[in-house]
Chain A
Amino acid sequence: MDIIQEAFLHVATWQTILALFCGVAIGTIIGAIPGMTVSMGVALTLPFTFTLDPVTGILLLLGVYKGGIYGGSITAIVIRAPGTPAASCTVLDGFPMAQKGEARKALEMALYASCIADFISNLALIFFAGFLASLALKFGAPEFFTLIVFSLTIIAGVSGDDLIKGLASAMLGLIGATVGLDLVYGTDRFVFGVYELMGGLAFIPVLIGLFALPEIINHYTHKDRGVGDINKIGSARLSFAELKGSLKSILRGSVIGVVLGAIPGIGGAPAAFLSYSEAKRTSPNGKNFGKGEVEGVAAAESGNNGVAGATMIPLLALGVPGDVITAVILGAFMVHGLRPGPILFQQNLDIIYALFMGIMMSSVFLFIIGKSSIRMFSRIAEIPNSILYPAVLILCVFGAYAINNTIFDILVMMAVGVLGFGMLKFGFPTAPFLIAFVLGPLLEDNFRQALLISQGDYGIFVRGPICWFFWALTVLSVVIVLNRSTGFLKFMKRQPKAGT
């Protein structure tokens, strides 16, 4: 009880509350700027924490992190340029909603889904940190590989009416992901002497190129030249019935986010896509996904925000940072003489409890800041497209450059933009390209790592219950897809009747 009281005293200071509030606000703005990544935001804020109390400083960083994840969805919905990779899935339904004049509704759903998922993720961090950390430790390369194989079945769900073109698009994404240095042998792959390609194609320029640029180029193909062409916000607001209808997807997405977030190295994007895919598969509105379905926004946002609290699990419970952001936060702990892990739970339990309290408070601040900013951000959709699109292009150019401080990334963005425009014109869905591009490196690396461990024995891919679980899910998923596209099961059911 004394410890909880002590923890409360750490949090209940105006400096801590203000720092957390500012952190969420800064993160929301940073997340909403294409090119400004959350990790960049957290890294930029880090020096400001040096002079602060440890709890205040760490909560400032956590605020930036949480605000940033939500902020990424704002531009994804309004201008089809996701601020963060995790928000790329939100584009699929968020932007079509904005085009239909429902930007505000999409932003509201994104906020509610984000806050609920964030809250659930925080609860998971508080109550299941130990259990989830031990589960995460059971994931080796073969388990990762089977998880990613299952995740790739999402491609069928986001391919729209043309599965073959979706698969071809995914192959383009996979091949794009192989560019750069080979991770096992360190040799060149498709580098052709261009040293900028050694690190591979940067994610954000590809993301912006694939989504925002085709939309901008396509604007010039419109008959009416687009002058005065406005995506009206409309009076459409999210109703309670719509929120209630999406609640199942939000809860499922939150759980997916929590489980994947607890596994080091996965990140928000796969969680968002997996949540989206599951929602599409099970929702009665599944056919509307990709065409501006509010439940699609809910599923994507709950998936990527469910990761937020859970990524802290391996950090706090084991001292293992799961991604770049938690690595920066680990740095903040160390600057203040704290070492996350089991010892922190023994020696500084008051700080742990204070962080838990602050993290819970961050969900409330996220709601307040998000709610007050929706009207302002949704106004962007009212700017005439003939002015908005060139402005978005400039924003994209600065954003693409800022990732690695190289103009080469802008060239990559533009090349992918032209490719994306071609895909748009020939009816190739871009989402499978993106999913394959995100998951491709994880798939290949874990496949090869597993074979390195087993010295070429493929039996490693069925080595335990986790592998079998994901293989079963994959088979089930493929059967559902085949049935949906060919009606195979219906045909089989009809056969006996035909015989009688």
Chain B
Amino acid sequence: MKFEKYGDIAAGGVVAAFAVLGLAYLVPVGVKAPPNISVAPLAPAFWPSIIFWMMLGFATLIIAKGIFGIMRADTDGAEVDADSGMKARTTRTLIAIVLLFVYQAALEPIGMVLASIIAGLAFTALAGERRYRYFVPVAVLLPIVLYYFFTKIAAIPIPLGFFEFIEF
């Protein structure tokens, strides 16, 4: 399978790209430093720069390891069979990730309770669960119980979005 075969190279590449981005852009632009610093290691950019350089070094080693791995696999002639259900599972996983951020984005406008109820139902349905009599009560009651716990016992205000006018 290509993903597994080139996994290390891809992963190393992503980490290396992030390290280069850090050294070329994030540190110079994102780290503000006062003008007169007498001791270089005291500069706010000193530590992040060292970390990014080390990251780049380790990423290079990961890529090298990946290349050696491919060379060895080619010599062995090993090939992994493609998984037939892979595409469907990848799609489901991507939907789950997108749903996560939709859930986060919905928290402020519609409130944590309603957003959590909808998210709970959506995530459970996405997992293929069809035993409604079990999962619907859990998805509905859990956010309400948590809301009561945090607001009434722990005195932490939970945003209710446009339901803010309702006094639970």
Contact = CB atoms under 8 A, between A and B. Distances in A.
Contacts of A384: 129
Nearest to A450: B41
A44 B135 CA distance: 33
B44 A427 contact: no
Contact of B127 (A226, A414, A427): A226
Interface stretch (A65-73, A317-325, A390-398): A390-398
Contact of B123 (A36, A188, A390, A427): A390
Nearest to A407: B107
Contacts of A401: 107, 112, 158
A440 B30 CA distance: 19
Contact of A220 (B62, B96, B130): B96
User: Interface of chain B, helix or strand or loop or mixed?
Assistant: helix
Interface in A198-253: 213, 216-217, 219-223, 225-227
A451 B41 CA distance: 8
Contacts of A217: 93, 96-97, 100
Given A164-B58, A168-B62, A387-B134, A221 B89 contact: yes
Contacts of A40: 154
B51 interface: yes
Interface in B91-132: 92-93, 95-97, 100-101, 103-104, 107-108, 112, 116, 119-120, 123-124, 126-131
B127 A168 contact: no
Nearest to B64: A164
A168 to B, nearest CB: 4
A365 interface: no
Nearest to B55: A171
A192 B48 contact: no
B32 A390 contact: no
B31 A190 contact: yes
B123 A389 contact: yes
Contact of A448 (B42, B138, B158): B42
A171 B11 CA distance: 14
Contact of A394 (B89, B108, B143): B143
A403 to B, nearest CB: 9
Give the size range of A's interface with the partner: 35 or more
A185 interface: yes
Contacts of B11: 165, 426-428
B17 interface: no
Given A184-B44, A227-B129, A407-B159, A178 B58 contact: no
A220 B156 contact: no
A467 to B, nearest CB: 17
Contacts of A407: 104, 107-108, 159
Contacts of B19: 171
Interface string A241-267: 000000000000000000000000000
Contact of A414 (B59, B104, B139): B104
Interface residues of B, number: 69
A187 B129 contact: no
B7 to A, nearest CB: 6
A171 B58 CA distance: 9
A172 B85 CA distance: 32
Contacts of B126: 220
A16 B149 CA distance: 26
A397 B39 contact: no
B165 interface: no
Contacts of B104: 407, 410-411, 414
B34 A417 contact: no
B67 interface: no
Most central of A172, A174, A226, A397 by chain B CB within 10 Å: A397
B156 to A, nearest CB: 5
Contact of B129 (A36, A190, A387, A447): A387
B10 interface: yes
Contact of B41 (A165, A221, A410, A456): A456
B123 A393 contact: yes
B129 A427 contact: no
A394 B119 contact: yes
A225 B127 contact: yes
B127 A175 contact: no
B142 A444 contact: no
Given A226-B128, A456-B41, A175 B55 contact: yes
B70 interface: no
Contact of B44 (A189, A410, A456): A189
11 contacts: A164-B61, A172-B55, A221-B93, A227-B130, A389-B123, A390-B127, A393-B120, A398-B116, A427-B7, A448-B41, A455-B39
Interface of B: 7-8, 10-11, 15, 19, 22, 26, 30-34, 38-39, 41-42, 44, 47-48, 51-52, 54-55, 58-59, 61-62, 65, 85, 89-90, 92-93, 95-97, 100-101, 103-104, 107-108, 112, 116, 119-120, 123-124, 126-131, 134-135, 138-139, 142-143, 146, 150, 154-159
Given A36-B154, A226-B128, A451-B41, 18 more contacts: A168-B55, A175-B48, A178-B51, A182-B44, A185-B44, A187-B44, A189-B31, A216-B123, A221-B89, A226-B127, A227-B130, A390-B119, A390-B123, A391-B120, A398-B112, A410-B107, A426-B7, A427-B7
Interface of A: 36, 40, 44, 164-165, 167-168, 171-172, 174-175, 178, 182, 184-185, 187-192, 213, 216-217, 219-223, 225-227, 384-387, 389-391, 393-395, 397-398, 401-402, 405, 407, 410-411, 414, 417-418, 421, 426-428, 444, 447-448, 451-452, 455-456
